[in-house]
Structures are given as structure tokens and as C-alpha cells.
Amino acid sequence: MLEYKNEIKRRRTFAIISHPDAGKTTLTEKLLLFGGAINLAGSVKGRKTEKHAVSDWMEIEKKRGISVTSSVMQFNYKDYCINILDTPGHQDFSEDTYRTLMAADSAVMVIDASKGVENQTIKLFKVCVMRNIPIFTFINKLDREAKDTFELLDEIESVLGIRTCPINWPIGSGKNFKGIYNRNSKRITRFYAANNGQKALESVEVELGDAQVDTLIGKDNHDILSEEIELLDGASSDFDLDLVLNGELTPVFFGSALTNFGVETFLKNFLSMTTSPLPRESSEGKIDPINNEFSAFVFKIQANMNKAHRDRIAFIRLCSGKFTAGMEVNHVQGNKKIRLAQPQQLMAQERKIVEEAYAGDIIGVFDPGIFSIGDTLCMPDQKFTYAGIPTFSPEHFAKVRQVDTMKRKQFLKGISQIAQEGAIQIFQEYNTGMEEIIVGVVGVLQFDVLKYRLEYEYGVEVLLDMLPYEYIRWVENKNIDVNTLSVSSDTKKVKDLKGNPLLLFVHRWSIQTALDRNKDLKLSEFGR
Ligand code: GDP
């Protein structure tokens, strides 16, 4: 164990969440630069057209400029080995974000200083809270006009319901952005705009209260800063690492990712505050990452990541011990010993074969169609399971029709594979066979992804007819004849892939109607 204890201790695995355009990609790029993982900033993202080049792979993402799938990036910084999990910025993919967060030990929330808490931040943040992990806030774009700093903090506290503790404090913003005051060291790092219009980092450190500060940031700014800090010291929550680790308090950092200002300070503080992989709950109690041999769980499945390969990759998060290429493991849910073939690590759009990995790391393994999301892998002589990953209830439904009915086989293959990835859920009406399939999604953009992927990956063109249903309930009662249930006329009776009956409702009140009309009927929001 000792030989890899240090490897696990130095791991930091986190996800970055943000409303689109808040600066997640730019921040990721700057973090990678510190680790020397890429040489040129432009190789992550250059011109607008090449946006999201590193973390995204699907055409649809490029077209829409949103990040649909999550990818993983690993780099070393000082003594740390960092795994960054990218998440989709759009709320329609919050289920994907949730799964990614299952694989993360903490989250970084990027907020645009001029916009504050935006609607998609709220939805993604809620997902973070469900996971109970530490959340760190990076308030970005201080080089642009920003909202009042206290207002920003208030917004985080009142809208997101988490207490804030600013670790540093901005001095002005936009044209008047002078730098950042570090509350701990009580020192100022000055921000300078370079002459050619491009802003560059140049920092000078002096102590607040010093006469030099007047020269450095101007007397007015010095006065305002002193006042703000006094107010802040009296009003803000004290830093308390336990509260941070419980997800009750978020340390807040200010900066500008684009100009690389405040990013390294953020990274250093963040790394010292967040933890290495912690023990995880399993069916046999907590599994300690260091004192146990290899174990992992599947948090994401993705088919056709690479057109040339047409393969299916299961992403696994290592929870304990060490992984070595070719090792035999027990796939607990499949009750089968398997050898993990071609373990891969995804770095940007390249893949490389990994020889070793440790608790905290994420690797992709070839999936011959045996894995489901949430499955556990452990040593051949063990068979514990990690808690499963719940699925979100779909909120939008559509009927899917093929344009060319000759391509039935490809259609069924495509739609069931995409359903296995967990991106969509599919249902069938009673008495219609597989001719008509109803698809349920959490966010409407997933319909676009489905349509696109069926066409480009499986060569099947489909039409989607939107359905008015918004609520889904599985019928819990065993051996019930669904046809005998009395429901409102706008309620639809369908079954899932396993044949479990369920009801789709247009209005919330129709759920009550069904319960009122059918004595003993038991409904559940989640499938079995
Ligand atoms: P994402 O959608 O959250 O990944 O956001 P991006 O990183 O793609 O950034 C969105 C836009 O904001 C891009 O045009 C960036 O160049 C710009 N941007 C990011 N960070 C900053 C910043 O600190 N200051 C300014 N002025 N612009 C920024």
C-alpha cells in the first residue's frame, strides 16, 4: 500500500461548473498552462470557431458552441496530480453534470462578475449541493465592469443558499481594475494593463495601509478598499475548513482568467484547501482509498467517441488502490471477472494508453456492451458495490419516427445504445410494438443530440413529434393490468424497456386524479 500512498495523497479531482460564457474553458486552459500540459493557450481554444477544441468532440457542440459531454484532463502542478472534469455548461445536460460530479471530489463554480448568478448556474449548483462536495467559487472577468462585490456575494448567499468566505478581494473593475487584495497575507497584487491593448500580468506586492498603496492604486481606491475590508471583516463568515468540506461554505476568489490574473493564487489556495480522494460509502461500509486495493465505478458511457473506432468507452473513477493495465477485475453487477482492455486516458482529443492509475484518477475502458452507469469494479476476490447513480426523471417527451422505415435495425440499435449511455430514456406504447418509440429527456437539447447522433453515427434520419407530457410515474404495484387503470384522458400508459408500466402526465394534478381513482395504486418517480 505504502508505495502508492503518496500517489493517491497528491491527487486532486474536481469538476468545473458554470453558466455558458462565464469563462470555464478559459480558466481550464489557464490551469492547464500552469501544469505545462499545453504549450499554447491557443491549443485549447483559439478563435471563436475553434471554441471548445479540447474538451469537446461532437460536431453539434461546435455548431451550437456549447459543451455537451464531459471530458477529463490530467496534469501535474508542483507536487499535485490534478484531474479536471469538464462539465456541460447548459442546464439541459444537468444529468450529465450530476454523473460527472459523482466522479469528482470537489467543484469549482465560475461566475461572470458582470452577470452574477445566472439561471444555469442555479440548476448546476443544485446538482452540486445534492452531492455534498466542497464548492469553490471563482468570480471571473474583473477586467470588465463588474457588479458590486458585496452584491455578488449576497447573490451567491441568497440565490444559491451557501455561505461565502472571500479569500481575496477585487480593487475596482473594468477600466478601474487595480488588482486584488489578499485577506490572508494582507497584501495587494497589482494588475497592469499592457500597452498594446492586451492585458498582461505584472504583479507587485505591498501591504495595505502603507503609504505606497496610495501611489500604487490611487488614494481613492485605497480608501474604498480599506472601508470595504473593514466592512467585510465584520460581516463575512470566518473561514472554516470543515464547513467548506461539508459544502456549507464556499471560499470565493476573484480574478480574470483571460488575462491570467488571480488564477495561480486561486489554484494554490484551492489545492491546499481541497482534499485528496476520501473514503467512499459502499455496500460493505466505507472503502478507504489507500488501504484497499483497486476499486472503481462507472459514471459515464459514451459510444462512438471516435468515428474511426466506432467503439464504446466506459469512464471509470478509481476510488481505491492502484490500477495496472491488463489487470483482472470483478465486474460486480455483471458477476463476471474481466480484463480491462485498452485502458485509456483522455488528454484533449488525444487518447493514450495508461499503464497505471491511482485512486482519484479517471480512465476510459473499452466497453463491449456490458457496463451500466453506476456499476462497480473491484478485485476478483471482492464483490462490494458503490452506491448507484440515480437517474433524473425526464421532463420532456417526444415520439420518434423513422423517415426511412427500412433502416429499422440501425434505428433500434442506435436508440438503445444512446439510451444505455443514459442520455435519453425510451418507452413504448402498449399494443404498438416497437414501431413507435417515445423518448424522454431531462433537457430539450438532448433531443437535438439524439437526432444528430442517430443521423451521423447510425445513418438513420428521424422525426420528432413533441408530446405534451411533463411528469412521469412508474407503477409500483406488481401484477397490475395497466389497461384497467382509470386515468384522466390526457394521461398516457406506456412501458419502459424492461416492460415496467408507467404513466405520463400533462399536468401535475392528473397524478392525484390517478391516485384518487385507483385505490391501492402506488406510483414512483423513479424506475426500477
Ligand atoms: P465558457 O462558455 O464558460 O467555457 O466560457 P469561455 O471560457 O469560452 O469564455 C467566454 C468568453 O468570455 C470568451 O470570449 C472569453 O475570451 C471571454 N473571457 C473569459 N474569461 C475572461 C476574462 O477574465 N475577461 C474577459 N474580458 N473575457 C473573458
DSSP annotation string for 69-81 = S--EEEEEETTEE
The mean predicted confidence, pLDDT, of the chain is 84
Q: Which atom of ligand 1 is nearest to the CA of 261?
A: 23
- For 126-171, the pLDDT digits (tens) are 878 877 899 999 999 999 999 999 999 999 999 999 999 999 999 9
Q: Which residue's alpha carbon is nearest to atom 19 within ligand 1?
A: 23
CATH 1.10.3720.10 is the classification of domain 280-378: no
Mutate to test the pocket of ligand 1, among 17, 21, 24, 69 (most ligand atoms within 8 A of CB): 21
* Count of other CB atoms within 10 angstroms of residue 72: 23
**ipTM greater than 0.95:** yes
**Cα separation of 450 and 462, whole Å?**
9
**Cα separation of 449 and 436, whole Å?**
19
* Contact in structure between 528 and 502 (CB atoms under 8 Å): no
Q: What is residue 42's DSSP assignment?
A: G
Residue-level pLDDT at 345 = 61
Residue at grid coordinates 462585490: 149
Q: Is 52 annotated as belonging to a binding site?
A: no
* Count of other CB atoms within 10 angstroms of residue 526: 12
Q: What is the DSSP string of 442-477?
A: SSTHHHHHHHHHHHHHH---EEEEEE---EEEEE--
Q: What is residue 238's DSSP assignment?
A: P
- Please tell me if the CB atom of residue 70 comes closer than 6 angstroms to any atom of ligand 1: no
- Read off φ and ψ for residue 433, nearest 5 degrees: 65, -155
Q: Give the pLDDT band (50/70/90) at residue 435.
A: low
Residue-level pLDDT at 359 = 96
**Cα separation of 169 and 235, whole Å?**
14
β-bridge mates for residue 504, sequence order: 472, 492
Quick one: CATH architecture of 396-524?
2-Layer Sandwich (3.30)
- Please tell me if the CB atom of residue 89 comes closer than 6 angstroms to any atom of ligand 1: yes
- Please tell me if the CB atom of residue 90 comes closer than 6 angstroms to any atom of ligand 1: no
Distance 141 CA to ligand 1 centre (A): 7
Q: What is residue 158's DSSP assignment?
A: I
- For 322-361, the pLDDT digits (tens) are 998 889 999 999 999 998 866 666 544 455 677 889 999 9
End-to-end CA distance of the chain: 38
- Please tell me if the CB atom of residue 511 comes closer than 6 angstroms to any atom of ligand 1: no
Distance 180 CA to ligand 1 centre (A): 19
Q: Is 497 annotated as belonging to a binding site?
A: no
> From 3.40.190.10, 3.40.250.10, 3.40.50.300, 3.40.1010.20, which CATH number describes the 2-273 domain?
3.40.50.300
Q: Which atom of ligand 1 is nearest to the CA of 140?
A: 23
- For 164-216, the pLDDT digits (tens) are 999 999 999 998 998 999 998 888 888 876 544 344 455 667 777 888 889 88
β-bridge mates for residue 251, sequence order: 165
- Please tell me if the CB atom of residue 256 comes closer than 6 angstroms to any atom of ligand 1: yes
Domain residue ranges in the chain:
2-273, 280-378, 396-524
Residue-level pLDDT at 487 = 93
Residue-level pLDDT at 464 = 94
Q: Which residue's alpha carbon is nearest to atom 16 within ligand 1?
A: 258
Cell numbers describing residue 341:
482492455
